[in-house]
Structure 1
């Protein structure tokens, strides 16, 4: 987009120079090239606009999936998840409203601004989707603790493996977002250690599983704080923009 704008400016200056020097035919040719570049610029803007709209739609689908995961986890009514699920749902709903506002205003904003806003929202959407999966993993880990207390080690191992798959999927969602990589890796190690303890029927297997719960809470809290910070920053930026426009 920037190269096209630069070309338009260069050609416009060239057309003026040619006209002043008497090169009317050359000036007409340059003007035709300007019109051609303007058309290309419009096509590019429309293409980028469609790309941004498609990205917002993908984020909507991600939020819908996260909402469904939270609903399923909440229905299981597992002790210890109630408040985390409630906060996740509240932040998801707030983010969904922000997404719709941004998608609507993207039509009026510059392409670069619209794209930057969309990318920032996508990061937040992916984080909250990953968080929903972590809460699901925590639910399964909590059930694994119950299974060990009943000496159902096969069930406990199965639940821990399912939790590990959820954690891996949640981490994969974040792509180039590496802010919580260390916490994810720590949780994966804890899950591996807990699963091994169950397989070996180790005496400390319950404490190993409880370590997984602690690691999960740490990671969920980090993602929750990230979203709260992003939401607060977004609200402040909106307020400043409204004040600037009003002035």
Structure 2
């Protein structure tokens, strides 16, 4: 009797193990992000966030050429593109991938709020660029768009070009940003950006190694996916503690962090105006 049951028991155990492995893979592959939308509270629909499972494919240590840091880049190893006042009392750190659809939804939902907070000197925003979707889906749109954004940073046009890229983001599986001609075409929507110097920077991939260096920092940073948003080092997306992110909550979190502190000198906004 026991001999007949043993193969069945082993089969059930193998099936249970396989199911657990499948569930673990699914958890690694997908991040479900939900926020509630009501009056005065912008939110994101339930969406899939891609994790950085393949983010290390473009390892800067294996790429030729030194990393050319964009003009005015800040932070550790010069990997942050800052928008807002240097002396703002709080820092909002955002890791993004220009091909990431959740990043576009985050930007569309919170762009105006982040702009207002930066304009009023409440926060400075430090943007970090990643290329995880190139690694996950193939193509080069994440890298090419990030390089173009760094080229825009060189001439003080990162913020508005950043917004143009997200407003014109192609479908996740469409590697349109992999074409330099598309990135240059979109630059025409930013005053003063479409210049021979910018076009040459885009075509030459001037900041490619810097982008790879940034992506390596992302993959080694223990982040689950893009977008990652940190207020003074504490995660606020998709929630902070037990509170879901929303426009009202983001403003409240910043106000709480800045209590008793003076606002910074007014600087450029994330929209570049």
Q: Give the TM bin, normalised by the shorter chain.
A: 0.3 to 0.5
Q: Which one scores higher on RCO, CA 8 angstroms, separation ≥ 6?
A: 2
State the TM-score, normalizing by the size of structure 2.
0.32
Q: From the two aligned structures, give the one with the greater strand fraction.
A: 2
State the TM-score, normalizing by the size of structure 1.
0.34
Report which of the two structures shows the higher radius of gyration computed on alpha carbons: 1
Q: From the two aligned structures, give the one with the greater helix fraction.
A: 1
